[in-house]
Structures are given as C-alpha cells and as structure tokens.
C-alpha cells in the first residue's frame, strides 16, 4: 500500500474508533453531494460522518447504504419490507436479515456457510447488484470503484464471480488514465489526489489477485475473505481521497 495513504487511512480509522458512539444517524453526518443517476433514476448521496464516508443509493424499491465505521465496513440493504445488513471488520463476518442472523470468524468454514446463505438467498442482494450494474456515472467517476467493490462483495457471497471481471476491467482502464502533474511543494492538485487514489486501488487489486491465487479453488470462505478485505481497503482509500481532494462535485 502507498505509504502516505496507509498512514492517512490508519489515522482516519483510529480517529473514527474514538467517535463511533455518534452512530449512523449522527448530527455530525454532513452531506457532501447529492446526484441523480439518469440511467436508473437512483438518487446517490455521499456523506462525511464521524466514522468515515457513507454512500446512500435510493430508489423507490431499494435503499442501499455503504458506510465505514473505523475499521469496519457496513453494507445495508432495505426494500419491500425486507432488510439485509452485512458487517466486516477484517476478522469477522456478521449478517442480519429478515431470514435470520449469523456471525462468524473469517476462517470458520461452517459458520461462514450460514452467513453466505443469508446473503445469497436474500432477494435484496439480487436487486442491489442489478441496480449497481446499471448505474451510469462512468469509469472516470471516483464513486465508481466504491460501487463496483460493493457489487463484487455481494456477488462473491452469492458465489458469483462476475463482479471480479468488472472490477478487473476498471483497474485496467484506470491504469491508462493516470496523468503526470506538477504542483508546488506541500500542495496536492485534484489530479494528484486522483492518481494516488487510483494507484492505491491498483495496488490493492494486485494483492487481491495474489490472495485469490493462494486460496484453494474449492474454498468459498477464502475467496470471500479476499474480496471482503479488498472491499474494506477500497473504502479506506476512498476516505483518504475525500480528505485529499476537498471537493464536492465528484459523484458523476
């Protein structure tokens, strides 16, 4: 991981860990941007919270929320009277859905299967992954990797690797968009922030690929663990990028 980003992400996580009591509905949550996707009519809202960035994607049929609380990523889906909440902190998977609850250490095969089934069998998983696939902000939007990693994470828990191919395509295209920019000492331009963000995403992807190579082909738990770690790291990088760029017009 880029040393600067690693330090920034760790500092953000440590600071957030001291303020988690504020919760997801805290008055400290600050709306950074709201945008409507023309392809799906979904409304996307990006917040800065005491725990880290929060992304809300709302349609009449589905509400998706992705949020960082210190070193934990929480993905929440609601719609049609059903709910699905997935938490991962690097070591433990926890799921609470309309069909039940389960929590398991990352390396517990039997416990993980219960977690996986709750996610895979929820109709909200299919709705959310289908919605993200249609959102049309484009490859150059900084919000795109956050959406793609969410889709990849949900699909992996449903034993579907199509999200991996989409994320791989984004990484390949991102490599071609890196630009060289010179700025004054002690300053970072928006392009420099973007370059650092993309480089971290690429490095994280390389580590994900190595993690997958080391995972037994038959071990769904190992594969999901690789994906969950990547999802956590990607959101941490996005949190760093928000602090770096200090702009508000970046969803679309």
- 152: how many CB neighbours lie within 10 A of its CB? 28
Half-sphere exposure of 212 (CA within 13 A, CB side): 14
Output the pTM of the full model: 0.77
* 3-state class (DSSP) for residue 18: coil
3-state helix, strand, coil in the chain (%, to 5): 50, 20, 30
Structure tokens at 46: 């990006």
Q: Where exactly are the structural domains of the chain? A: 3-245
pLDDT given for residue 192 in this prediction: 82
pLDDT given for residue 138 in this prediction: 75
Q: Which residue has the higher pLDDT, 85 or 15?
A: 85
- 50: how many CB neighbours lie within 10 A of its CB? 20
Q: Which residue has the higher pLDDT, 77 or 140?
A: 77
Task: Say if residue 248's pLDDT is above 50.
Answer: no
DSSP track, 154-199:
HHHHTT--HHHHHHHHHHHHHHHH-------TT---HHHHHHHHHH
* 3-state class (DSSP) for residue 204: helix
């Amino acid at each position: 991981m880029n040393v600067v980003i690693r330090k920034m992400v760790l500092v953000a996580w440590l600071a957030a860990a001291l303020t988690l009591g504020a919760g997801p509905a805290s008055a400290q949550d600050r709306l950074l941007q709201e945008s409507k996707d023309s392809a799906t009519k979904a409304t996307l809202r990006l917040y800065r919270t005491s725990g880290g960035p929060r992304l809300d994607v709302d349609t009449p049929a589905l509400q998706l929320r992705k949020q960082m609380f210190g070193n934990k990523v929480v993905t929440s889906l609601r719609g049609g009277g059903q709910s699905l909440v997935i938490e991962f902190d690097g070591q433990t998977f926890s799921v609470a859905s309309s069909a039940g609850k389960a929590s398991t250490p990352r390396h517990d095969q039997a416990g993980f299967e219960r977690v996986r089934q709750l996610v895979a069998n929820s109709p909200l998983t299919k709705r959310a992954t289908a919605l993200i696939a249609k959102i049309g902000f484009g490859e150059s939007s900084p919000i795109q990797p956050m959406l793609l990693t969410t889709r990849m994470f949900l699909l992996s828990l449903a034993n579907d690797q199509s999200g991996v191919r989409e994320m791989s395509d984004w990484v390949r295209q991102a490599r071609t968009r890196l630009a060289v920019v010179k700025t004054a000492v002690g300053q970072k331009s928006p392009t420099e922030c973007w370059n650092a963000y993309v480089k971290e995403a690429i490095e994280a992807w390389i580590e994900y690929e190595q993690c997958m190579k080391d995972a037994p082909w038959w071990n769904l738990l190992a594969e999901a663990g690789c994906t969950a770690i990547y999802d956590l790291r990607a959101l941490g990088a996005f949190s760093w990028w928000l602090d770096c760029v200090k702009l508000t017009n970046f969803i679309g």
